[in-house]
Amino acid sequence: MVSQESKRRVPAMCWGVLSVAICMMVAVPISRAGSLSFSTVVVDAGHGGADGGSVWNGLIEKKLCLDVALRLERILKAKGLRVVMTRRTDATMELSDRAKIANKWRNAVFVSIHFNANRNRSVSGLQTFYRSSRGRMLASPVQRAMDRDLTGINRGIAIANFKVLRETIMPAILIEAGFISNRTEASRCGSATHRQKIAQAIASGILAARTHP
């Protein structure tokens, strides 16, 4: 009888241990869903040098991108993150070189900053692009923070096959921080106060995406 009981108990206990193990395996990724673990942020100021990007309403996209990128660098460094800049000056840079700089870093995310333009000057708003599911985990909180903290239409997040998103091996996003072809939005983007708010909103979204230790 004892031996029979012990025979029954053994598989029951094994199943118990196994089910706990399965629960843990399932529970850990679920509890961490929506957050990323990283210590470095690669900040990519769009365009630069010979590539001015969009030019509208007296604004040159490359200058706005660099300005917001430098502001973002300061904020993130103050929060204790390592920040790697793909450019800190008005330099011409290939898209693949930007990805190469980023791919040297482990535990990193990639954030490319751009401003948008459209021939239809009534189009405006803020949008964040991603390509991978982990990119989406960064895009969502960044877009949410911009929508919460900035004036402008929320154009949401969207998948895009941009080269910098395709060639970077880490979670990567590309932010379009406003349409400079739209007169109202251009006037906002031309203000240093608004650009500081953009950088703060992006930083807040990046920090929200991060796993808290």
Selected from 44, 46, 86, 171, the binder of Zn ion by CB under 5 A is 46
Determine phi and psi for 85, rounding to 5 degrees.
Answer: -100, 135
Region for residue 3 given its phi and psi (left: phi exceeds 0; alpha: psi -120 to 50; beta: otherwise): alpha
- Pick from 109, 129, 118: which is nearest to 176 by CA? 129
User: Smallest distance from the beta carbon of 46 to Zn ion, in angstroms?
Assistant: 4
Candidate segments 34-42, 69-77, 89-97, 107-115, binder of Zn ion by CB under 5 A: 107-115
Query: Is 94 among the residues known to form the active site?
Result: no
Q: CB–CB of 182/123 below 8 Å?
A: yes
- Pick from 80, 83, 8, 78: which is nearest to 45 by CA? 83
Q: Which residue is nearest to Zn ion (CB)?
A: 114
* Cα–Cα distance, 30 to 113 (Å, whole number): 30
Q: CB–CB of 145/76 below 8 Å?
A: no
Selected from 53, 135, 171, 205, the binder of Zn ion by CB under 5 A is 53
Task: Output 73 or 176, the one with its CB closest to Zn ion.
Answer: 176
- Other CB atoms within 10 A of residue 154 CB: 15
114 lies in the site for Zn ion, by CB under 5 A: yes
Task: Output 40 or 61, the one with its CB closest to Zn ion.
Answer: 61
User: Smallest distance from the beta carbon of 100 to Zn ion, in angstroms?
Assistant: 19
Candidate segments 51-59, 120-128, 136-144, 154-162, binder of Zn ion by CB under 5 A: 51-59
Q: How many residues bind Zn ion (CB under 5 A)?
A: 3
CA 89 to mean position of chain CA atoms: 22
Task: Output 46 or 178, the one with its CB closest to Zn ion.
Answer: 46
Task: Output 17 or 97, the one with its CB closest to Zn ion.
Answer: 97
- Chain residues binding Zn ion by CB under 5 A are 46, 53, 114
Q: Which residues are catalytic?
A: 176
